[in-house]
Amino acid sequence: MQDIQQSLYPNYTLLVQAALFLVFTFLIHRLLVKPYTEVIEEREKRISDNLEKARELQEEATRYLQEAQQILEKGRQESNAILEEARKEAQRIARQMLEEEEKKAQEDIERAVAEMRKLLEEEKLKLDKELQKVAEELVRRVLKEVA
């Protein structure tokens, strides 16, 4: 019967062991698990912060890249416009120079034609004088022979 009584009443050693186990668990939790958990949580927070920062930096880099591409495209368009304007200006200047040279050439031709006409008139006058002298000489000879 004593065995039954002992089994009905709790063993104080068991209670002390259970209490010591709970104290040990509490101390392990307090001294090891809690600081370890805090370190892990802090590391996870730092990692997530770094990932967020990296994502923000990537977005910023993408935005800067897009801005740079827009600036490059705008620069390309402006340089093409400047080149086109320069090409048109060069064509206009070439056309103007060609017109000036054609005008000078036309003036030179007109001057040469006027000079040739003048020389032709002078030669014609000389020829008329020569012809008149020949005609006078011919008339004199005919009059000499007739007389």
Tokens coding 115: 């000079």
pLDDT tens for 48-66 read 999 999 999 999 999 999 9
Torsion of CA 64, 70, 75, 77, to 10 degrees: 170
d(CA 52, CA 59): 11
Residues 9-19, mean pLDDT to the nearest whole number: 78
Q: In the chain, count H helices and then E strands.
A: 3, 0
- Please report the pLDDT score of residue 140 as a whole number: 86
pLDDT tens for 85-125 read 999 999 999 999 999 999 999 999 999 999 999 999 998 89
Residues 27-45, mean pLDDT to the nearest whole number: 92
Torsion of CA 102, 105, 110, 111, to 10 degrees: 150
d(CA 58, CA 69): 16
- Mean of the per-residue pLDDT values for the chain? 89
pLDDT at residue 1 is higher than 60: no
pLDDT tens for 117-134 read 999 999 889 888 888 888
DSSP 30: I
